[in-house]
Structure 1
Amino acid sequence: MANASSKRIASSNESALKNIQLGLLGVNLLAPLLRFLFSLVASRTFIPSKKIIALHLLSIAGTVFVWRWFVLIGTPKRDASGLKSGEDLSGGGVVELAWDLVYMTWICTLGSAILGDWVWWFYLLIPAFGAYKAFNLVRPLLGMFLPGIFGPKIPRDPNAPAQDAADEKVESRKQAKLRARMEKGDKRVQQVQTSRR
């Protein structure tokens, strides 16, 4: 069973690494071509501003770094005991955030070539999403120290209909039987009632 799972993860990782290589080459070759074609059709310049070039180079460097990291952790390794699949590249956590970086880089690169340089503003979604995840991680701790701000929200009006519905309790079978016995005058139930008081 474990060997089948390792083989599945290994084949998934190999295809993911191949796809990221093809994507890196495809996007970075297609973007200048599209930019050139749109500069002929529209009244845009072929060469973008220095800020956009620097941003593009930084994002490519980040994507290459992620690709090399994926190769390091995701390449299957063979040893005497058999095949070790490596880290699952379709998993969550940091790997998922790295994939988001790669995809957002490709979207911004192609989008800026087609639509214009304003598409690079979408790159701010990455730190915004990271901040959202970090806040959700820290929120329970903040709720302990600042319950009025970050704690659970309760209705302020105690006479609200939602509060009345929550106060009604459903009687279990055992409770219904005990109540019926007490109404009939069963002495066992009366003894339990007096011992609780």
Structure 2
Amino acid sequence: MSGRKQFDVDEALDKAMAVFWQRGYADASLDVLGTATGLGRGSLYGAFGGKDELFRRALDRYSATYGARYEDALTAHPGDPARAVEAFFGVVLARINDPAVPEGCLIAQAAAQSAVLTPESAAHVRRLLDIQQARVRAALDDPHADPSMLDDLAVYVVAINQSLAVLSRAGASDRELRAVVRFACETVASRLAPAN
């Protein structure tokens, strides 16, 4: 189309995702988002409907990218839920140690800022946490275990994941993060042991 600047929507989403991930929702102004994506306000609104919708789409892109990796890890060890959780945390640590992405986790960053999000975006963050919890819970499934204990264990694993993101942003060392993961994996294995 003549006269219209064309741009790659996925590339713009990746750049916006990095801004929200690094700065958080509150500090990701339209000017900062425009500079990062190379889009003016009009183009941002035209393509994404505004900052709030762009934020939710960036969250979805993040969730799809890392969710697929989590899913692969959690399903790679059928019948061995403790090993599946260990693989899940391996993916988490790989993301945290990836120098190509901001520290922490976009969803953890968004959850910490829930008070400044619109109700729609806060609910969206909660849904993404629920999806993560459902993935973990599916990996823990064991017909011989108490379902409510498995539900609680899934919440625990997701809480540890979010804690790792916060600790990494606060400068925790790799050794410290791996210690948290080791104790979490031991806890999961010990809670599952009576069922196996």
By the TM > 0.5 criterion, same fold?
no
TM-score of the two chains, using structure 2 as the length reference: 0.27
Higher relative CO (CA 8 A, sep ≥ 6), structure 1 or 2? Answer: 2
TM-score of the two chains, using structure 1 as the length reference: 0.26
* Structure (1 or 2) with the larger CA radius of gyration: 1
